[in-house]
Structure 1
Amino acid sequence: MKNEKPVILVTNDDGITAPGIRSLMHVMKELGHVVVVAPDSPQSGMGHAVTIAKPLRLDKVEVYKGFEMYQSSGTPVDCVKLAVNKVLHRKPDLCVSGINHGANSSINVIYSGTMSAAVEGAIEGIPSIGFSLCDYSQNADFSPCEPYVRSIVKAVLKNGLPKGSLLNVNFPKAPDFKGLKVCRQAVAKYEEEFDERIDPHGRKYYWMTGKFALYDKGEDTDEWALDNGYVSVVPVQFDMTAYNSIPFLNNIDFNVQTK
């Protein structure tokens, strides 16, 4: 029926009780029929991991009244797969992930469980968006994000997204925002260090530490937008082919000898 509300799948990587998902759920309730399938515990940094070596649990819960909610023992990607195959038995009209506690801009998109859940939605052909706030505090204020979430989701529901793409939306840590900018992903990486320690049994173990290194000075990047008080919107694709490298490789003689 044309008058039916769109079915919106809500998920995250911070866990089903995280404040960020609650904020996202309440905005989505204005726009469609909300179904929540999220991890039962924090899954940050899981990337696109799936569970294959142990069984998955999926339980209906009532963390917040008035919502259809399920928690899973699996990863964020598992949650999207379970939602499509075992909860909805169909593809939702939209998949939204977040709102994450902490940035998923630049290279973070590779490691992010939040974004990987949205990527999985896009792989399924579902218009998908990942939302993140650059504030790691459990007391983070998500209210400034909500008008932007509402507007972005309404626009995607109306216009759709190009095939094979999704949106990575990041909010700066600020009481209000200057506006929205469509950006490219900044060139950056983490420069890791490993703090070596000894456990009570005399065995070595390591804590990964390090710092975020931004190499990109462009003013069209997500990092520039966030540093200057803007909401960044980056179109992301799961086709990781480096198309610009194909002519280069075709000009190389690999000199394969089979005998």
Structure 2
Amino acid sequence: MNQHTTLVTGATQGLGLGIALDLAARGRTVLLHGRDRTRLDAVAAQMRGAAPEATVRTYLADLDQVHALTAHIRESEPRLDALVNNAVAGGGPDPRVRRFSRQGHELRFAVNHLAPYALARGLLPLLTDSAPARIVNVASMGQEAIDFDDVMLERAYEGLRAYCRSKLALIMATFDLAEELDGTGVTVNALHPAHLMDTSGVRAYGLTPVTTVDEGVRPTVRLLLDPELETTTGRYFDQFTDTRAHEQAYDTEARRRLMVLTRALCGES
């Protein structure tokens, strides 16, 4: 049981921390990703104290450094049974401010879509060698159609709109990657974990939380561990319900255009 290894991005707070604690309590091997060494070490110590039977290892990296992170994990880990793409850039405390990644991409599109795609792509050799394996992309019920004439929202920018477009992009990429990996033993699904969880991101945007983090942890961990979902792939879940995402997610031409752009921005040939 302990050999089952899961990488959780954004694991030092909120939903990521909740998922990591749940998996540790089950005696799993949990790989924690974070951007702050002090917080990352504190969470690792907390988990080791609460679940001494679990194995906890940490990976410090900004998600701008995805290629270095994936190389480090492939070199260090003998197996990877699951990846949870949870790290997120929300609407932000001032939604009028347009922020950028180090590569110059709109920040929410970069963190919520490009980084999870690049991370999954970079870890595929390890995931396929460990199959059956699962990728779970933490999306949102907040989804807005992507304008391919203004993907980075250079016009009429607003943080929540950018967030909703980036989460739809993540779902669209989920569907494409699931099709690509069909038959490999690696499944890829996306979910909306819970509505307005009690997280710092929700509060920073000025919203009032209406659900607990635990309400988001349970459906996410289900997608990771439920044996009945071992072959379920290319789906979008609203918590526990397999449902439809935004209609653009089923537009094959829109998905093709997004994938061409995504591969180019991620430096794929």
What is the TM-score when the length of structure 1 is the normalising length?
A: 0.45
Q: By percentage of residues, which structure has more strand?
A: 1
More helix by share: 2
Please give the TM-score of this superposition, normalised by the length of structure 2. 0.44
